A and B are shown apart, each in its own frame.
Chain A
């Protein structure tokens, strides 16, 4: 264990270490993922989430954010992907070879990209499917349902409507609430802002912060909306083409000149004309 945390702090040596004394809930160490036995997607990714923390993975399309989350939640295998190297430790246990079902029972659940609701089930039935792995009886489940409705009052109004006919924001909230129904210790949130109005995105991140503080659920969030994610996360990792290229406390990343230029769209020299941007040859890469 100590060797692992040393490796983590060693990796993060170029910036602030992620509070080394704090115990980790998730520890991903040098993970390599290959799809279809030939396509190398993750090239040695290491990251750590402290207990009760909100950590963001940032990066452009195809950087490997979703694959990282799926490697953790073990949904990769259903897509012919495979973790070929490295180790994943959740809650002090190795979880590389658990099925998604076992992992949900252990307390780690993923909210997939693009909502993925069960369109023909009602909102309430959708939420109840989240409790599939629980064995603590109907009463506890119903109590949790009510508690989730307090976080998402909109869902309570629409509990009887078919999920397919609800709005994108409501579906995202439903997916979030459905994950909470499993009583997780940690939620992997994949691209919660996808296709939603800025106002709704803000609402969802507010709820993330709220849930994190009140329920002590840790979050690992993959996000393209760098600005929003860095406002709510404590720590951030930046990915490019299957590697982590930079990491640091969210506040430090927000101030970093490169991050500002590439992901937040502000550069030191003021706004650039679009004409000039077009001639900007290639993105700067930090490693490799």
Chain B
């Protein structure tokens, strides 16, 4: 048969060649540890400070380590949520949606703005009003999905992906302008309490120290996990979910079996809008709601590179790795570089993973026939 499926990296030789960098790294680390043990390198030596000192710190204060990991975990869950918004749209339309970050801001602003507006209009503040605002915000996100499909995606069907990517740039600026026009440029405070999100702190005594955990963080983790599980189920087992994956593989074939691309795109952008809203609430509850939040889109980039653009599990695991790695890096290695390494450390982690897994940890293998 002339058709042959190309699988990369067949054979033992290729596998060894792939493992070589990892083996070399391990060897180098072992050499450094040995050197430290024998006293060849000591405190003050750069190699010692990078490879030995932080681990001694971890071992001596394990509770601090747990606290850092927990904080990293929570940040990671939020990164995963943002990345999820990207993955949804990328899977279904092959577009890297640059506007996802601003959609987060826009959703959060709409929620707070509507709540404030109704509050000022004399409606009694509290849980019911927050719920009403939430439902209205969902309606706004749906309207946004329909508008994007009509105005941006439909006229650009069958255009190269780069053109759609540029169109999402345009969308970003439209949303920023529209948001500022309607809600003003001032930062707002997320209506955490009205939404019924917990705000307290619990302290746990473990490993000879104390770890304090914010209830809000626990809620964020639970909500995010539930939402991701729902999305995964939706994608894998429902008729629309299957159609979404089909569209991701081939627009033309999807059209030919009668899948309505327009409907699918609306569903996908709406799902991304819901994810954006949840992210906006969780993120907004920890800082304030302003347009500065849209830099979190840039945070999602290393997560996507690491997890693969097409994989939901990839977004989750990638988010956690980046979140935890970033916090640990900042806390234990940050002082070496004069702190503030959080902003770029994520990219370094992503780069290191890219060396070994070019299509991300869980990215779909490109299946090619010759």
Contacts and interface: CB of A to CB of B under 8 A. Distances in A.
A168 B257 contact: no
A282 B115 CA distance: 77
Interface stretch (A56-64, A82-90, A118-126): A118-126
A243 interface: no
Given A119-B367, A129-B259, A167 B254 contact: no
B3 A167 contact: yes
Contacts of B215: none
Interface in B151-195: 157-158
A155 interface: no
A218 interface: no
Contacts of A105: 258
B236 to A, nearest CB: 9
Interface in B227-259: 239, 242-243, 245-246, 248-259
A165 B5 contact: yes
A197 interface: yes
Interface in A92-107: 99-101, 103-105
A105 B364 CA distance: 32
B1 interface: yes
The residue in B246, B364, B367 that gathers the most chain A C-beta atoms within 10 A of its C-beta is B246
Nearest to A74: B255
B260 interface: yes
Contact of A104 (B157, B246, B258, B364): B258
Given A78-B157, A80-B158, A120-B367, A132 B249 contact: no
Q: How large is the interface on A (under 10, 10 to 19, 20 to 34, 35 or more residues)?
A: 35 or more
Nearest to A118: B249
A117 interface: yes
Nearest to B157: A78
Given A80-B158, A118-B245, A73 B1 contact: no
A73 B255 CA distance: 10
A164 B249 CA distance: 10
A100 B256 contact: yes
Interface in A236-261: none
B120 interface: no
B246 A129 contact: yes
Contacts, number: 93
A121 B249 contact: yes
B38 interface: no
A131 B259 CA distance: 9
Contacts of B245: 118, 120-121, 125
Best-buried of B248, B251, B260 by chain A (most CB within 10 Å): B260
Contacts of A109: 256-258
B367 A132 contact: no
Contact of B256 (A80, A110, A121, A167): A110
B2 interface: yes
Contacts of A131: 239
A79 B239 CA distance: 26
Contact of B158 (A78, A104, A162): A78
A182 interface: yes
Given A120-B364, A165-B367, A101 B258 contact: yes
Most B CB atoms within 10 A — which of A79, A164, A168? A164
A228 interface: no
A118 B367 CA distance: 11
Contact of A129 (B242, B251, B364): B242
Given A78-B255, A109-B257, A116-B256, 17 more contacts: A73-B256, A75-B255, A78-B252, A79-B158, A111-B256, A117-B249, A118-B250, A118-B254, A119-B367, A120-B248, A120-B249, A121-B249, A125-B246, A129-B259, A130-B257, A162-B367, A165-B367
Interface of A: 73, 75, 78-80, 99-101, 103-105, 109-112, 116-121, 125-126, 128-133, 162, 164-165, 167-168, 178-179, 182, 195, 197
Interface of B: 1-3, 5, 157-158, 239, 242-243, 245-246, 248-260, 364, 367, 369
6 contacts: A101-B260, A118-B249, A119-B249, A129-B246, A165-B367, A182-B258
